[in-house]
């Protein structure tokens, strides 16, 4: 099979108008913090137990098209010895892999960050493909302050995302491009919109320079929301401003936009996704989700590391997946949370 056909087959499986992507790619440090919050000891075994429980949820494939895994999970098996990527595939869920190696300060741009991990990426992707991964994800992070992101921050982060995406496509792996504009801060929703527009324009300029085929990638952006300190915006305002900026900055060739939840509660993220799909006739892309905490938080709080909570954990996890599936159709209602 040609690389072009590999990429198209994966896009076809990930973009079907009704399912989103589960982000289960928390680093060891991040998942340790989330486990600590619910009193669960963090270890490779407890990570395996939890992620295996999620992926084996009956019916999950009705609402989830793909799952982003952490490298540790890609090599783990369930209690019956099946590799966890195979557990996902058995439900019609495409396995993917987080390939960046975390972030740090960007020299020359105080307050901006840069993500590491390009060294050896081609070889790592070849190995991940052998373990079942068909798509990848790379995240760049943009804080909003009075002077961030700087011009250097915009350019450097966009360049990293484009180089990563080009490497992925060269070996037949669909890249998810994730420029996350952080919700932390006291900025207004108008400031958020301006920054997101700058970020997305710089990213697509870089993708063009590097010859990335837009039809064979996915975008995982932030929704346009006010900073956490500034309070909340109504879902209708979030949707209007997010779609306005997307239409200005993102080419129609991109097949799907899978939003991150970025510090929103599960209910907020679902309501905002629903509001976007109420006006989706103005969008040339699928408007979907790639949530982590907004899908997992209620499940993790229910599980708490106890086997006797497994059924209840899977039930609440499946409910959140179904509610976001409904939000993709513009059919979610707040009363469904009861």
Three-state secondary structure string covering 113-134: EEECCCCCHHHHHHHHHHCCCC
Rounded-to-integer distance, Cα 102 and Cα 104, Å? 7
CA distances from residue 16 to 11, 76, 281, 299 in whole angstroms, order as listed = 9, 28, 16, 25
Residue 8 pLDDT > 90: yes
Looking at residues 252-280, what average pLDDT do you find? Answer: 97
Looking at residues 185-192, what average pLDDT do you find? Answer: 96
- CA proximity to 217, closest of 276, 155, 168, 273: 168
CA distances from residue 278 to 6, 19, 119, 229, 258 in whole angstroms, order as listed = 33, 16, 42, 28, 16
Specify whether 236 is catalytic. no
Looking at residues 74-89, what average pLDDT do you find? Answer: 96
Q: Taking the domains of the chain in order of start, what are their residue ranges?
A: 3-337
Q: What is the pLDDT of residues 58-79, one digit of tens each?
A: 999 999 999 999 999 999 999 9
Residue 192 pLDDT > 90: yes
Q: What are phi and psi of 331, to 5 degrees?
A: -115, 10
Catalytic position from the list 6, 140, 178, 180? 178
231 pLDDT band (50/70/90 cuts)?
A: confident
Looking at residues 28-44, what average pLDDT do you find? Answer: 93
Specify whether 308 is catalytic. no
Residue 199 pLDDT > 90: yes
Residue 1 pLDDT > 90: no
Looking at residues 187-203, what average pLDDT do you find? Answer: 98
Looking at residues 186-199, what average pLDDT do you find? Answer: 97
**Predicted pLDDT at 94:** 98
Looking at residues 179-207, what average pLDDT do you find? Answer: 97
137 pLDDT band (50/70/90 cuts)?
A: very high
Q: From 3.30.420.40, 3.20.20.70, 3.40.50.300, 3.30.413.10, which CATH number describes the 3-337 domain? A: 3.20.20.70
200 pLDDT band (50/70/90 cuts)?
A: very high
- Strands 174-181 and 103-105, by their bridges, are unpaired
142 in Cβ contact with 182 (< 8 Å): yes
Residue 128 pLDDT > 90: yes
Residue 86 pLDDT > 90: yes
**Predicted pLDDT at 338:** 82
Catalytic position from the list 71, 216, 220, 297? 220
5 pLDDT band (50/70/90 cuts)?
A: very high
Looking at residues 88-93, what average pLDDT do you find? Answer: 98
Rounded-to-integer distance, Cα 205 and Cα 207, Å? 6
């Amino acid at each position: 099979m040609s690389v072009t056909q590999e990429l198209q087959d994966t896009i076809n499986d990930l973009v079907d108008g009704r399912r989103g992507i589960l982000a289960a790619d928390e680093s060891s440090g991040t998942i340790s913090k989330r486990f600590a919050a619910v009193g669960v000891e963090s270890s490779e075994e407890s990570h395996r137990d939890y992620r295996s429980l999620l992926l084996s949820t009956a019916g999950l494939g009705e609402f989830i098209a793909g799952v982003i895994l952490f490298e540790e999970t890609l090599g783990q098996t369930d209690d019956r010895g099946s590799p966890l990527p195979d557990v996902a595939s058995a439900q019609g869920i495409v396995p993917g892999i987080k390939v960046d190696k975390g972030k740090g300060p960007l020299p020359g741009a105080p307050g901006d960050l840069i993500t590491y991990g390009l060294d050896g990426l081609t070889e790592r992707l070849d190995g991940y493909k052998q373990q079942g991964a068909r798509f990848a994800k790379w995240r760049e992070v943009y804080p909003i302050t009075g002077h961030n992101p700087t011009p250097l921050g915009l350019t450097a982060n966009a360049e990293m995302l484009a180089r990563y995406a080009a490497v992925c496509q060269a070996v037949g792996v669909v890249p998810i491009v994730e420029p996350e504009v952080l919700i932390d801060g006291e900025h207004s929703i108008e400031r958020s919109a301006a920054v997101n527009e700058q970020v997305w324009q710089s990213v697509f300029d870089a993708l063009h320079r590097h010859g990335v085929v837009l039809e064979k990638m996915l975008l995982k952006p932030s929704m346009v929301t006010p900073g956490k300190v500034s309070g909340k915006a109504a879902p209708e305002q979030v949707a209007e401003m997010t779609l306005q900026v997307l239409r200005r900055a993102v080419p129609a060739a991109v097949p799907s936009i899978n939003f991150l939840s970025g510090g929103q509660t599960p209910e907020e993220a679902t309501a905002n996704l629903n509001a976007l799909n109420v006006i989706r006739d103005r969008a040339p892309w699928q408007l979907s989700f790639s949530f982590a905490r907004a899908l997992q938080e209620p499940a993790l709080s229910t599980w708490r590391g106890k086997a006797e909570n497994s059924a209840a954990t899977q039930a609440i996890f499946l409910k959140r997946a179904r509610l976001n599936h409904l939000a993709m159709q513009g059919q979610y209602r707040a009363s469904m949370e009861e």
